[in-house]
Amino acid sequence: MAKVGQRWMQQVRREMERKGTVGALRRQLGVPEGQKIPESWLSRIANAEVGETVTLNGKRVKVTTKLKRRVNLARIFRRYASRRQK
Query: Alpha helices, DSSP H only, in 1-86?
Result: 8-19, 24-29, 39-47, 65-85
pLDDT tens, 1-41? 555 666 888 888 888 878 888 888 999 999 998 899 999 99
> pLDDT of 50-77, one tens digit each?
999 999 989 999 999 999 999 999 998 8
